[in-house]
């Protein structure tokens, strides 16, 4: 048993962090999934609790998207603000034109952003 606690033991193997990520991820999410399964039969879809949960989830998504647009990090920070806002507008238009299919809106915005970024990069390298 002492061999497991040394550097050459369990902590020294390459796969141990991946096992911990899998186990911790499973434990952190599976309990909530089961709680949702058991509680779903008792909750009304138009009840105040579910409406509140939907509002909080929507607000969190809106906050993350706003942060990505207004305060980007990494490679996204290299794109100008007007291009990010134009990509959002294009994705929003594609979302409505496709009868509110989220996948179409997201992919259209990403394609617009990538095309604009690559176009700006070519202009900068040509001039």
pLDDT digits (tens, 9 = 90+) for 8-54: 565 567 777 778 888 888 877 887 788 878 877 777 888 888 899 88
The answer to whether residue 77 sits within a structural domain is: no
The answer to whether residue 68 sits within a structural domain is: no
State which residues form the domain around 3.
Answer: 1-42
The answer to whether residue 32 sits within a structural domain is: yes
Q: What is the pLDDT of residue 88?
A: 96
Whether 94 has a pLDDT exceeding 90, the answer reads yes
- Percentage of the chain beyond pLDDT 70 is 90
The answer to whether residue 52 sits within a structural domain is: no
Whether 3 has a pLDDT exceeding 60, the answer reads no
Question: How crowded is the C-beta side of 125, counted as CA atoms within 13 Å?
Answer: 6
Give the whole-angstrom CA distance, residue 83 versus residue 112: 9
Give the whole-angstrom CA distance, residue 112 versus residue 124: 18
Helix spans in the chain (H): 16-40, 48-70, 81-97, 102-126
The answer to whether residue 6 sits within a structural domain is: yes
Tell me the pLDDT of the chain averaged across its residues.
86
Give the whole-angstrom CA distance, residue 34 versus residue 40: 10
């Amino acid at each position: 048993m002492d061999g497991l606690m040394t550097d050459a033991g369990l902590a020294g193997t390459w796969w141990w962090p991946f096992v911990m990520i899998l186990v911790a991820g499973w434990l952190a999410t599976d309990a909530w999934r089961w709680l949702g399964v058991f509680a779903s039969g008792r909750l009304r879809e138009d009840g105040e609790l579910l409406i509140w949960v939907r509002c909080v989830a929507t607000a969190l998504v809106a906050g993350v998207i706003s942060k990505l647009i207004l305060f980007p990090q990494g490679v996204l920070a290299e794109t100008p603000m007007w291009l990010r806002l134009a990509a959002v507008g294009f994705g929003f238009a594609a979302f409505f034109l496709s009868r509110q299919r989220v996948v179409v809106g997201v992919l259209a915005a990403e394609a617009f952003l990538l095309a604009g970024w690559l176009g700006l990069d070519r202009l900068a390298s040509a001039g």
